[in-house]
Amino acid sequence: MNILGILTQPSAPPSVLVDYLVVAGGGGGGNGGAADGNGGGGGAGGLRCTVTATGGGGSLETALALDLSTNYTVTVGAGGAADANGNNSVFSTITSTAGGKGGTIGAKNGSTGGSGGGGYNDGSAGNTGGSGTANQGYAGATNDPSAPLYGGGGGGAVEAGSTDSKGFGGDGVATSISGSSVTYAGGGGGGIHTITTVAVGGDGGGGNGSSSNTAATAGSANLGGGGGGGMVNTPYRAGEAGGSGIVILKYPTANTITIGAGLTGSTASAGGFTVATITAGTGNVSWV
């Protein structure tokens, strides 16, 4: 109530409008069996974004209006080790789901995740790929028991595993939130026995699967790519780790961010906006 006795509505607290990209850690590729079969590729970390495109074929996310002088949590998810799921990434109320691990001799189905891991391939049918998460990523591929026995490709943010070719990782999403177009969250390729060519990881940091003369490769750091799958013996090759995720925040240059202890990040400004890129850790951010 003001001095004239008239009821008035309280004013809203000052806020900043923040666009975001939140990519989770990719899943690790499945290990090959010592005398059994080939590991599936790891699924990419889930991807949620308000600029250019988001994961899973969904509609763009909505920028967040955040109160000034208020702490908001950020976590950058680490990639999963071989035969392990990745880790979630978080910004405020936004959580991107960890990538699912590729199928392995002990657990032949790929795991569910932001994008799903590919199925293990031992020549028997029905080792399924893990499901993706709606509006974040796609499923890993179920194994194909016909020769050659590629492990199923891990799912990516823009397509399912094995879409481009047998065993290949699904491609990721390109976004220009940083000021230039970068592709994130590609799935890992599956392992393959006795063939010199490899199942290539998806665009956006997916690791390649192993072959008889080539080790699998890890998903790329800060792209959230899935790790490549391992291979059966002669020689035995293990799956590889998924890549860590990333959190990128874009806001007007009139505002200033504080990146708190526990987080590794940097800022760059152009065209009236500042972009904060956070590459590791857990902590708080705030604006004034």
Burial (Cβ within 10 Å: 0-12, 13-18, ≥19) of residue 99: buried
Q: Which has the closest alpha carbon to 151: 183, 122, 126, 186?
A: 122
> Which range, of 10-19, 21-30, 53-62, 163-172, averages the lowest pLDDT?
10-19
Residue 4 has pLDDT above 80, yes or no: no
Phi and psi torsions of 90, nearest 5°: -135, 140
Phi and psi torsions of 56, nearest 5°: 70, 15
Q: Which has the closest alpha carbon to 42: 136, 112, 121, 133?
A: 112
pLDDT at 34: 67
Mean pLDDT of 138-162: 95
Burial (Cβ within 10 Å: 0-12, 13-18, ≥19) of residue 283: middle
C-beta separation of 248 from 61 below 8 A: no
178's torsion region: left (phi>0), alpha (psi -120 to 50) or beta?
alpha
Phi and psi torsions of 55, nearest 5°: -85, 165
> Using CA atoms, how far apart are residues 155 and 106, in angstroms rounded to an integer?
20
C-beta separation of 140 from 120 below 8 A: no
What is the token pair recorded at 122? 């031992």
Mean pLDDT of 206-217: 93
Residue 6 — very low, low, confident or very high, per pLDDT cuts 50/70/90?
low
Measured between its terminal Cα atoms, the distance across the chain in Å is: 28
The three-point CA angle 233-122-209 to 5° equals 60
pLDDT at 103: 97
> Using CA atoms, how far apart are residues 206 and 170, in angstroms rounded to an integer?
8
Q: CA torsion, points 152, 158, 164, 169, in degrees to nearest 10?
A: -40
Phi and psi torsions of 105, nearest 5°: -60, -35
Residue 232 — very low, low, confident or very high, per pLDDT cuts 50/70/90?
confident
Q: What is the pLDDT of residues 80-131, one digit of tens each?
A: 999 999 999 999 999 999 999 999 988 999 999 999 999 999 998 889 999 9
pLDDT at 162: 97
pLDDT at 35: 67
* 188-215 CB burial, b ≥16 within 10 A, e <16: bbbbbbebeebbbbbbbbbbbbbbbebb
> Using CA atoms, how far apart are residues 25 and 281, in angstroms rounded to an integer?
12
Q: What is the pLDDT of residues 161-207, one digit of tens each?
A: 999 999 999 999 999 999 999 999 999 999 998 777 899 999 999 99
Residue 36 has pLDDT above 80, yes or no: no
Q: What is the percentage of the chain residues whose pLDDT exceeds 70?
A: 94
